[in-house]
Amino acid sequence: MSSKFKSIFPLFYGVKPHKFLLFPVLLLSFFCFSTLASPPLEQTKIKQIAQLAEYVGVDYVAAVGNGEILDADEYEEMSEFSYVILEQASQLSNQTNKFDTVKANAQALHTAIFNKASVVEVRKASSALRESLLTFMPQLSLPTTLLPLEQTKALFAANCSMCHGLSGQGNGPLAKNLTPEPTNFTDKERATNRSLMGLYDAVTNGINDTPMVAFTQLNEQQRWSLAFYVGSLAFKDIQKPEGPFENVTASQIVNLNPAQLSAGQSDLQAHYVKWLRANPAQLFTTKKNPITITRTQLLAAQTAHAKGNYSQASDLAISAYLDGFELVENNLNAYDETLRKNIEIQLMNLRQTFKNEKDAAIVDEKVSAALTQLAKADSLLNETKLTDGALLSASLVILLREGLEALLVVIALMTVLIKTHRQDALKYVHIGWVMALIAGGLTWAAAQTLIQISGASREVMEGAGALFAAIILLYVGVWMHSKTSAQQWQKYIKDNIDERLESGTLWGLAGLSFIAVYREVFETVLFYQSLLTQSSQTQYSSVAVGFGLGVALLALIAWVLVKYSIKLPIAKFFAYTTYLLFALAFVLMGKAVIALQEADIVAISSMPINFDIALLGLKSTWQGFIAQIAVVAIFSFYIFKAKKH
């Protein structure tokens, strides 16, 4: 019996039992981040260039004025920094043209400083360089909360005041003996050109050739709290303006300085940005409207496209869908499914438009059309309150839709073990799905309190998990079909009834159970979080009732499947289970391609006709169609082969 299970799960055989459950997590993590991150050495160079570029943009004002050198030492330092930037940029990968814009901007900054250009020109060149780097920089792990203000002040007093002074004016007891002098965080001009990312990097890594050391003894939340605190000191006298103004996300306020965020914006918007720097708690306490995030990212993409940053514009368009609109798709379906589908198609097409279309007028027209549709969706979601019955139904449908796939995989594994008299191995399947539930809860808790998981990373994780499960299920289905008419099957069971399954195979079962359930749990919690944002606290009970009914129905379905599948004759059982596994493999393969397309890992080539059947994983793209046809072809080939024998 053990040899046969090796043939079913060859990828898992021989894995150490105590390590196996780490494998799916490591596998999914690899797919999530290996495709999104640059090599470590390259990332180091990118971060160094960004830090130096910001430093030049801030301090150049003390070096040159009206084309003349104001301070020879400062100008020499600016020249050295620009040379280092140019040298580091030249060492970035030459295998593709992706860093051409970075290298061109580095050269422009170097030339501007060499020619003693105005502060405005140098800062413009510095900002252009930093913006071109943002696409390639790793996503920072932003906290969902900052330390209370009094705790942050105490932290600053204990660690920073000896140099920067208690009020952050750069006049601490040690300041006079330091070269260069400590930063005056209350200097508005300097703060306007300093990003929170630059401040966080300084706290985390220190600044080379200066007295600023790395504060590695502080945890991540403490370092972020310090960065946000010192970044606020110059703007404490700013009063909150009266709206309306464009939403600014935590990611934008971290990566871009106030000058960059205000470029081309109204005075009201510029005032709002400075107020936000002075009141960063607003970023972590206000509920983020997914439609607002979508709108903001689209406008940012439009701005990037106008500057010629086509790749960055495409990335922002991807974020507009994954970090925004996707989170309210289920809710919008309850009001207008056609509108939901139209917006989804618009957003998917826009990413290609931003990447390939050079005509700004065409881009502006398509963005305007998408914004109009988003306004309709926003009106439906915010002005029309979901009834208690609608919330209950949505909650029930979410759990049934996401849970049924995972349940079918687990039940299939369980019934195979029961039919082959291997009830002792059932605990491994149970370990897999229970660990998946725990891991899903922990992952979401971490995402809520410690880190922000980008939509792209989430889709890569779900896509990789679905692809892996589809391949394994297809393999198992083919093997089971070979047993539907085997006369020796009963003899095979009897001959092997006393053999124990190998530990690697048993943990292989646990691993497949884990993967099948984990990807569904993660997506389920995400959709429930979005559903709760569309309901009041008094309606949470309706969501809970829908969830409870969903759990009860899934339990009932599981009981029926187990009870009646066990009663089937062995040949019929294997035949029915074979087609069930094939169907699951077909659906999961389609969903895998869709998720990877949404994350921009797999290309999108639309078919002449448009269709979208989420239940079957069907979508009108050639990539998904070919992948699912391949599943059908493989399965059909083995059926035909089995009939010939």
- Helical (H) or strand (E) element with 618: strand 618-619
Q: Are residues 60 and 121 in the same domain?
A: yes
The answer on 68 and 22 residing in a single domain is no
**Do 172 and 258 reside in the same domain of the chain?**
yes
pLDDT of residue 636: 82
Q: Are residues 151 and 114 in the same domain?
A: no
- Cα distance between residue 59 and residue 65, in whole Å: 12
CB < 8 Å & 24+ apart, contacts of 445-452 = 448/144, 449/144, 449/145, 450/141, 450/143, 450/144, 450/220, 451/141, 451/142, 452/139, 452/141, 452/142, 452/144, 452/250, 452/251
Give the model's pLDDT for residue 491.
46
Rounded CA-CA distance 206/445 in Å is 31
User: Looking at the structure, do residues 434 and 544 belong to the same domain, yes or no?
Assistant: yes
Q: Residue 81 belongs to a domain with what CATH number?
A: 1.20.120
Residue 141 in domain = no
CATH code assigned at 168? 1.10.760.10
Looking at the structure, do residues 491 and 438 belong to the same domain, yes or no?
A: yes
Full-model pTM = 0.45
Q: What integer pLDDT is reported at residue 386 of this predicted model?
A: 60
User: Taking a C-beta distance cutoff of 8 angstroms, is the pair 323, 455 a contact?
Assistant: yes
* Residue 408 forms part of a structural domain: yes
Residue 627 lies in a domain: no
Which residue, 102, 134, 166, sits at the end of a domain?
Answer: 134
The radius of gyration of the chain's CA atoms, rounded to the nearest angstrom, is 29
Contacts of residue 278, Cβ cutoff 8 Å, sequence gap at least 6: 232, 235, 236, 238
Residue in 455, 467, 584, 593 with CA at minimum distance from that of residue 523: 455
DSSP assignment string, 522-584: HHHHHHHHHHHHTS-GGGHHHHHHHHHHHHHHHHHHHHHHHHHHHHS-HHHHHHHHHHHHHHH
Query: CA geometry: angle at 155 spanning 287 and 190, to 5°?
Result: 75
Given this model, what pLDDT does residue 40 score? 56
Look at residue 45 and tell me if it is in a domain.
Answer: yes
Q: Count of domains in the chain?
A: 3
113 in the same domain as 54? yes
The DSSP code sequence of 279-317 is -THHHHHSPPPHHHHHHHHHHHHHHHHHTT-HHHHHHHH
540 and 434, same domain (yes or no): yes
User: Is residue 370 a part of any domain in this protein?
Assistant: no
Domain boundary (112, 134, 156) is at 134
Sheet strands (E) in 152-208? none
Q: Are residues 110 and 62 in the same domain?
A: yes
Which structural domain range is residue 124 located in? 40-134
Give me the pLDDT at residue 509, please. Answer: 65
Q: Show which of 570, 604, 636 is a domain's final residue.
A: 570
In a domain, 220, yes or no: yes
Residues 563 and 414 in one domain: yes
Residues 205 and 124 reside in one and the same domain? no
Please check whether residue 139 lies inside any domain of the structure.
no
258 within a domain of the structure (yes/no): yes
Q: What are the per-10-residue average pLDDT scores of the chain (645 residues)?
A: 39 38 39 44 78 86 90 88 89 75 91 92 89 69 75 92 93 88 91 89 83 88 91 90 74 84 85 90 68 84 85 83 78 79 86 85 89 83 64 76 74 72 78 84 59 52 61 60 47 41 59 74 69 68 86 84 65 64 77 76 80 77 88 81 63
104, 107, 108, 114 alpha-carbon torsion, rounded to 10°: -170
Specify the pLDDT at position 1: 39
Q: Are residues 96 and 181 in the same domain?
A: no
